[in-house]
Amino acid sequence: MRVSELVSRSGVPLATVKYYLREGLLMPGEATSATQARYGDEHLDRLALIKALSNAGLAIPRIRTILHLIEDPTGSRFELLGDVIAQLPPYLPESDDPAPDEYPRAKRVLEKLGQIYDPGFVAVAQLEQALAAAENAGIPMTDERLEAYGDHVRGIAEVDIRLMPRGSAAEQVKYVVLGTILYEPVIAALRRLAHQDFTAHAYRRSTDHPDRQEPS
Protein backbone atom coordinates (compact mmCIF):
# COMPACT_ATOMS: atom_id res chain seq x y z
CA MET A 1 0.00 0.00 0.00
CA ARG A 2 1.06 3.61 -0.43
CA VAL A 3 1.80 5.85 2.50
CA SER A 4 -1.62 7.54 2.12
CA GLU A 5 -3.34 4.20 2.68
CA LEU A 6 -1.00 3.42 5.59
CA VAL A 7 -2.11 6.71 7.16
CA SER A 8 -5.81 6.10 6.66
CA ARG A 9 -5.74 2.45 7.78
CA SER A 10 -3.51 3.05 10.83
CA GLY A 11 -5.16 6.30 11.91
CA VAL A 12 -1.66 7.73 12.49
CA PRO A 13 -1.23 11.16 10.85
CA LEU A 14 1.25 11.50 7.97
CA ALA A 15 3.55 13.83 9.92
CA THR A 16 3.73 11.27 12.75
CA VAL A 17 4.41 8.40 10.32
CA LYS A 18 7.26 10.44 8.82
CA TYR A 19 8.59 11.18 12.28
CA TYR A 20 8.58 7.47 13.20
CA LEU A 21 10.39 6.70 9.91
CA ARG A 22 13.05 9.34 10.63
CA GLU A 23 13.47 8.10 14.21
CA GLY A 24 13.81 4.53 12.98
CA LEU A 25 10.81 3.29 14.98
CA LEU A 26 9.03 2.37 11.75
CA MET A 27 11.04 0.37 9.23
CA PRO A 28 11.30 1.91 5.75
CA GLY A 29 8.93 0.73 3.01
CA GLU A 30 10.06 -0.82 -0.24
CA ALA A 31 11.12 2.02 -2.54
CA THR A 32 9.11 2.06 -5.79
CA SER A 33 10.54 5.34 -7.10
CA ALA A 34 12.75 8.14 -5.83
CA THR A 35 9.87 9.62 -3.84
CA GLN A 36 7.48 6.70 -3.25
CA ALA A 37 7.55 3.52 -1.21
CA ARG A 38 5.25 0.58 -0.70
CA TYR A 39 4.21 -0.53 2.80
CA GLY A 40 2.82 -3.80 4.07
CA ASP A 41 0.95 -5.34 6.99
CA GLU A 42 4.14 -5.35 9.08
CA HIS A 43 4.07 -1.55 8.92
CA LEU A 44 0.45 -1.47 10.06
CA ASP A 45 1.29 -3.83 12.94
CA ARG A 46 4.29 -1.76 13.93
CA LEU A 47 2.26 1.47 13.90
CA ALA A 48 -0.45 -0.13 16.04
CA LEU A 49 2.20 -1.19 18.55
CA ILE A 50 3.89 2.24 18.66
CA LYS A 51 0.47 3.88 19.07
CA ALA A 52 -0.47 1.60 21.95
CA LEU A 53 2.84 2.24 23.73
CA SER A 54 2.63 5.96 23.09
CA ASN A 55 -0.97 6.14 24.36
CA ALA A 56 0.16 4.33 27.49
CA GLY A 57 2.50 7.25 28.13
CA LEU A 58 5.84 5.76 27.04
CA ALA A 59 8.44 8.20 25.75
CA ILE A 60 10.11 7.62 22.37
CA PRO A 61 13.45 6.33 23.77
CA ARG A 62 11.62 3.67 25.80
CA ILE A 63 9.51 2.69 22.80
CA ARG A 64 12.71 2.39 20.80
CA THR A 65 14.24 0.10 23.42
CA ILE A 66 11.18 -2.15 23.41
CA LEU A 67 11.12 -2.32 19.61
CA HIS A 68 14.81 -3.16 19.63
CA LEU A 69 14.19 -5.99 22.11
CA ILE A 70 11.38 -7.29 19.91
CA GLU A 71 13.55 -7.18 16.76
CA ASP A 72 16.64 -8.62 18.33
CA PRO A 73 15.73 -10.60 21.44
CA THR A 74 18.86 -11.63 23.33
CA GLY A 75 19.40 -13.68 26.45
CA SER A 76 16.87 -16.06 27.93
CA ARG A 77 13.15 -15.48 27.67
CA PHE A 78 13.25 -14.77 31.40
CA GLU A 79 15.83 -11.96 31.02
CA LEU A 80 14.14 -10.63 27.91
CA LEU A 81 10.79 -10.21 29.62
CA GLY A 82 12.48 -8.54 32.60
CA ASP A 83 14.27 -6.10 30.30
CA VAL A 84 11.02 -5.25 28.55
CA ILE A 85 9.02 -4.74 31.72
CA ALA A 86 11.77 -2.43 33.02
CA GLN A 87 10.78 0.03 30.26
CA LEU A 88 7.22 0.38 31.53
CA PRO A 89 5.93 2.93 34.04
CA PRO A 90 5.89 3.62 36.94
CA TYR A 91 9.49 4.80 36.77
CA LEU A 92 11.59 5.01 39.88
CA PRO A 93 14.43 7.35 40.73
CA GLU A 94 17.74 6.12 39.33
CA SER A 95 19.92 4.51 41.97
CA ASP A 96 22.98 2.33 42.27
CA ASP A 97 22.60 -1.39 42.65
CA PRO A 98 20.41 -2.05 45.64
CA ALA A 99 22.00 -3.23 48.86
CA PRO A 100 20.69 -6.68 49.83
CA ASP A 101 18.36 -5.19 52.43
CA GLU A 102 17.16 -2.22 50.42
CA TYR A 103 13.64 -3.51 49.79
CA PRO A 104 12.65 -4.97 53.15
CA ARG A 105 8.86 -4.75 52.67
CA ALA A 106 8.88 -6.17 49.16
CA LYS A 107 11.19 -8.99 50.21
CA ARG A 108 9.06 -9.93 53.20
CA VAL A 109 6.00 -10.09 50.93
CA LEU A 110 7.71 -12.10 48.19
CA GLU A 111 9.18 -14.53 50.68
CA LYS A 112 5.80 -15.02 52.34
CA LEU A 113 4.36 -15.72 48.89
CA GLY A 114 7.23 -18.09 48.15
CA GLN A 115 7.94 -16.53 44.79
CA ILE A 116 11.10 -16.66 42.68
CA TYR A 117 12.22 -13.14 41.86
CA ASP A 118 15.22 -11.24 40.57
CA PRO A 119 16.09 -8.65 43.28
CA GLY A 120 17.21 -6.25 40.53
CA PHE A 121 13.86 -6.45 38.73
CA VAL A 122 12.24 -3.03 38.70
CA ALA A 123 8.92 -4.39 39.98
CA VAL A 124 10.61 -5.23 43.32
CA ALA A 125 11.48 -1.55 43.80
CA GLN A 126 7.97 -0.57 42.63
CA LEU A 127 6.45 -2.96 45.15
CA GLU A 128 8.66 -1.59 47.94
CA GLN A 129 7.67 1.98 47.11
CA ALA A 130 3.96 1.12 46.97
CA LEU A 131 4.08 -0.84 50.24
CA ALA A 132 5.94 1.98 52.00
CA ALA A 133 3.34 4.53 50.81
CA ALA A 134 0.48 2.39 52.15
CA GLU A 135 2.31 1.85 55.44
CA ASN A 136 2.99 5.58 55.85
CA ALA A 137 -0.68 6.32 55.24
CA GLY A 138 -1.69 3.96 58.06
CA ILE A 139 -2.95 1.00 55.99
CA PRO A 140 0.04 -1.36 55.97
CA MET A 141 -0.03 -4.70 54.15
CA THR A 142 -1.26 -7.08 56.82
CA ASP A 143 -0.94 -10.85 56.57
CA GLU A 144 -4.71 -11.14 56.05
CA ARG A 145 -4.63 -8.74 53.10
CA LEU A 146 -1.49 -10.30 51.66
CA GLU A 147 -2.96 -13.78 51.71
CA ALA A 148 -5.97 -12.68 49.64
CA TYR A 149 -4.01 -10.39 47.33
CA GLY A 150 -1.27 -12.96 46.75
CA ASP A 151 -3.69 -15.73 45.77
CA HIS A 152 -5.88 -13.59 43.57
CA VAL A 153 -3.10 -11.72 41.79
CA ARG A 154 -1.51 -15.11 41.11
CA GLY A 155 -4.80 -16.25 39.60
CA ILE A 156 -4.84 -13.23 37.30
CA ALA A 157 -1.20 -13.72 36.31
CA GLU A 158 -1.85 -17.40 35.64
CA VAL A 159 -4.47 -16.63 32.98
CA ASP A 160 -2.19 -13.93 31.52
CA ILE A 161 0.52 -16.55 31.02
CA ARG A 162 -1.95 -19.18 29.82
CA LEU A 163 -3.19 -16.82 27.08
CA MET A 164 0.34 -15.91 25.94
CA PRO A 165 0.76 -16.65 22.21
CA ARG A 166 2.87 -19.74 21.48
CA GLY A 167 4.69 -18.01 18.59
CA SER A 168 7.97 -16.16 18.25
CA ALA A 169 9.85 -14.25 20.95
CA ALA A 170 8.77 -11.04 19.17
CA GLU A 171 5.08 -11.96 19.48
CA GLN A 172 5.53 -12.92 23.12
CA VAL A 173 7.35 -9.70 23.99
CA LYS A 174 4.59 -7.71 22.33
CA TYR A 175 1.95 -9.61 24.29
CA VAL A 176 3.80 -9.17 27.58
CA VAL A 177 4.33 -5.44 27.08
CA LEU A 178 0.80 -4.70 25.98
CA GLY A 179 -0.85 -7.15 28.36
CA THR A 180 1.02 -5.61 31.28
CA ILE A 181 0.35 -1.95 30.62
CA LEU A 182 -3.07 -2.22 29.00
CA TYR A 183 -4.60 -4.58 31.56
CA GLU A 184 -3.40 -2.73 34.67
CA PRO A 185 -6.07 -0.02 34.22
CA VAL A 186 -8.67 -2.70 33.45
CA ILE A 187 -7.88 -4.40 36.76
CA ALA A 188 -7.93 -1.08 38.64
CA ALA A 189 -11.33 -0.12 37.17
CA LEU A 190 -12.78 -3.59 37.84
CA ARG A 191 -11.63 -3.35 41.46
CA ARG A 192 -13.34 0.03 41.91
CA LEU A 193 -16.50 -1.35 40.35
CA ALA A 194 -16.40 -4.44 42.56
CA HIS A 195 -16.16 -2.11 45.59
CA GLN A 196 -19.23 -0.29 44.28
CA ASP A 197 -21.10 -3.56 43.81
CA PHE A 198 -20.30 -4.68 47.38
CA THR A 199 -21.29 -1.26 48.74
CA ALA A 200 -24.53 -1.28 46.73
CA HIS A 201 -25.51 -4.68 48.11
CA ALA A 202 -24.77 -3.57 51.66
CA TYR A 203 -26.74 -0.35 51.09
CA ARG A 204 -29.72 -2.22 49.65
CA ARG A 205 -29.74 -4.64 52.55
CA SER A 206 -29.73 -1.73 55.00
CA THR A 207 -32.57 0.16 53.24
CA ASP A 208 -34.75 -2.71 51.97
CA HIS A 209 -35.22 -4.06 55.47
CA PRO A 210 -35.53 -1.09 57.79
CA ASP A 211 -37.33 -3.25 60.37
CA ARG A 212 -34.82 -6.05 60.27
CA GLN A 213 -33.63 -6.92 63.75
CA GLU A 214 -30.29 -8.34 64.62
CA PRO A 215 -30.72 -11.55 66.61
CA SER A 216 -30.37 -10.67 70.27
Q: Is 85 in the site for a copy of itself (CB under 8 A)?
A: yes
Q: Is 176 in the site for a copy of itself (CB under 8 A)?
A: yes
- Is 164 within 8 Å of 68 (Cβ atoms)? no
Q: Is 154 in the site for a copy of itself (CB under 8 A)?
A: yes
Q: Is 178 in the site for a copy of itself (CB under 8 A)?
A: yes
In whole angstroms, the minimum distance from the beta carbon of 5 to a copy of itself comes to 19
Q: Which of 37, 63, 48, 40 is nearest to 10 (CA)?
A: 48
In whole angstroms, the minimum distance from the beta carbon of 93 to a copy of itself comes to 13
Choice from 5, 42, 71, 118 touching a copy of itself (CB under 8 A): 118
- Is 89 within 8 Å of 57 (Cβ atoms)? yes
Return the number of the residue (66 or 127) whose C-beta is nearest a copy of itself. Answer: 127
In whole angstroms, the minimum distance from the beta carbon of 32 to a copy of itself comes to 28
Choice from 3, 44, 56, 170 touching a copy of itself (CB under 8 A): 56
**Alpha-carbon span 113 to 107, nearest angstrom:** 10
Return the number of the residue (5 or 171) whose C-beta is nearest a copy of itself. Answer: 171
Q: Is 142 in the site for a copy of itself (CB under 8 A)?
A: yes
How far from 185 is each of 20, 42, 182, CA to CA, in Å? 27, 28, 6
- Is 102 within 8 Å of 194 (Cβ atoms)? no
Which residue stretch of 14-22, 24-32, 61-69, 180-188 sits at the interface with a copy of itself (rule: CB under 8 A)?
180-188
**Alpha-carbon span 23 to 50, nearest angstrom:** 12
In whole angstroms, the minimum distance from the beta carbon of 130 to a copy of itself comes to 4
Which residue stretch of 1-9, 26-34, 93-101, 114-122 sits at the interface with a copy of itself (rule: CB under 8 A)?
114-122
In whole angstroms, the minimum distance from the beta carbon of 201 to a copy of itself comes to 7
Segments in the chain forming alpha helices (H):
3-10, 14-23, 41-55, 60-71, 77-85, 104-113, 122-136, 143-162, 169-208
Q: Is 152 in the site for a copy of itself (CB under 8 A)?
A: yes
**Alpha-carbon span 125 to 207, nearest angstrom:** 45
Q: Is 209 in the site for a copy of itself (CB under 8 A)?
A: no
* Alpha carbons within 13 A on the beta-carbon side of 69: 26
Choice from 161, 210, 212, 214 touching a copy of itself (CB under 8 A): 161
